[in-house]
Structure 1
Amino acid sequence: MKKQELIHLHGLLAEVRKHHQARTGTAVEYEGYESLGVRPTSIHKSKTDHKEAVFALAEGITGEMRRAESETVPAAAD
């Protein structure tokens, strides 16, 4: 994947994060992503930096969705 494509994906994931937060009404912390200091607008950062940020952001989003789903779906009775 080219750097420009990674930056675009990074921007899309940032929008998904923002949409999820607005939909759930909670501000979710993504410590792994935040600690990188790489934003979609950080075009001066390396391709590797954006790739790491994309993976961290995707992991944070999916983890939050899993957590939210486990809170709304009742556990199966034995």
Structure 2
Amino acid sequence: MRKQELIHLHSLLAQVQVHYEEESETEVQHDEYATLGVKPTSIHKSKTDHKDAVFALADGIINDMAAESDETRTLAAD
């Protein structure tokens, strides 16, 4: 995957995060992503930096969705 494609994917994931946060009325916890300091607009960062950011952002979104799903299951079981 080229750097430009990674930046595009990074932008799309950032939009998914915003949409998810609005729909779920929560804030995605992604300390690893924040620590990297790489945003979709950070075009001067390396391809590797964007790749790491994409994985960290995706992990943050997935973990938050999984936690929400677990909470829903627990509430439904009660």
The two structures share one fold, judged by TM-score above 0.5: yes
Q: How does 1:8-47 map to 2 (within 5 A)?
A: 8-47=8-47
What SS does the aligned partner of 1:27 have?
coil
**2-structure distance, mates of 1:74, 1:43:** 42
How far residue 27 of structure 1 moved from its aligned partner, in angstroms, is 1.8
**Unmatched runs of 5 consecutive residues or more in structure 2:** none
What SS does the aligned partner of 1:73 have?
helix
Report the residue type matching 1:69 in the other structure.
S
Aligned residues: 76
**Unmatched runs of 5 consecutive residues or more in structure 1:** none
Higher helix share: 2
How far residue 28 of structure 1 moved from its aligned partner, in angstroms, is 2.3
The alignment yields a C-alpha RMSD, in angstroms, of 1.4
**1-structure distance, mates of 2:74, 2:57:** 27
Tell me which stretches of 4 or more aligned residues in structure 1 moved more than 4 Å. none
